[in-house]
Amino acid sequence: MPSEEDKRSNHARLLDLQYYFGKDWIDLKVIAEDRRIATWRQKHISEHSPFQCNKCKKYWTRGLNKRNKKIEYLKNRVFKNIPCEKKLCTSCL
């Protein structure tokens, strides 16, 4: 987690870029997505509790895979006997 000083420094850099290049050149949505991905990448998959989908019965958790997807399916044979919270996965929504 970045410190308050790091946040202020990053915000100042962003304002500098906007001043020099103009607001049309800076895509804030891409910057925000990059920050979210960086935050997710710092967390290990075991920090997120697993769920079991009510509909397809697959086990899944939140995390990032190689394609920056925020959901990962877990092996059913490993999690078969572990009680998990029931929740629909994004594929079944």
Query: Which residues are bridge partners to 59 per DSSP?
Result: 52, 74
| Domain range list for the chain | 1-42, 45-93
pTM of the predicted model, to two decimals?
0.51
Handedness of CA 62, 72, 35, 44 (dihedral sign): positive
Average pLDDT over residues 73-92: 86
DSSP 20-82: HH-GGG--HHHHHHHHHHHHHHHS-GGGS--EE-TTT--EEEE---TT--SEEEEPHHHHTTS
Dump pLDDT digits (tens) for 34-78.
777 677 666 665 667 889 999 999 998 877 666 666 777 888 888
**Chain-centre distance of CA 90, in angstroms?**
14
